Amino acid sequence: MLRQRRKADPTDIILLLVILFFIAVSFVVVGFTNSKIKEVIDTTVLNQSTAHSSISASFKVVNELTVQRGFLLFFGILIIGILLSSFLIKVHPAFIFIYIMTLAMALFTAVYLANAYELIVSNAQLAALASNYAIMTWVMQNVVKIFLGVGALSMVIIFSKVFGGGKENPF
């Protein structure tokens, strides 16, 4: 019988960072597109229909509330995934240096991606819309601190596991 071996990878934190950046930028672009569609509906014949008020309210809810909640949901799921995958990694404590270097690369990458996000949302057309996204902006401004905490917690989980004296050698 084949046994499935599940392992995670210390580079998962870099993958999480890149995914988080693309989700944040995608949500800003989707919010911008939704606001332009709402403007078209508000300025054309479509605003004379009886459904205009509900359509306008739906766009407002999506642009201001749903986008932020969706981003926070993805962000939470990705962090929980990193922490859960830390339990699946079986690493000898001698490799802590590699994990520290991987975390350092992730933090340097986080600085550049946070600055790139800031450049994107400081665009004149996106600035007004991005000011509505307080949660996304806060997370992207503090992404280095957040990933330092998540990386440190992940490192503690990975390297503090006690392996029993079972049949299988974890190393």
| Alpha-carbon span 28 to 125, nearest angstrom | 11
Q: What is the reported pLDDT for 1?
A: 43
Q: Name the average pLDDT for the chain.
A: 82
Q: Is the pLDDT of residue 90 over 80?
A: no
* Domain ranges within the chain, ordered by starting residue: 12-159
Three-class DSSP labels, 43-58: HCHHHHCCCHHHHHHH
Q: What is the reported pLDDT for 13?
A: 82
Q: Give the pair of three-digit tokens for residue 171.
A: 């190393």
pTM of the shown model: 0.77
Q: Give the pair of three-digit tokens for residue 9.
A: 């990878």
Handedness of CA 99, 103, 108, 112 (dihedral sign): positive
Residue 157 in contact with residue 83, Cβ under 8 Å? yes
Q: Is 131 helix (H, G, I), strand (E, B) or coil?
A: coil
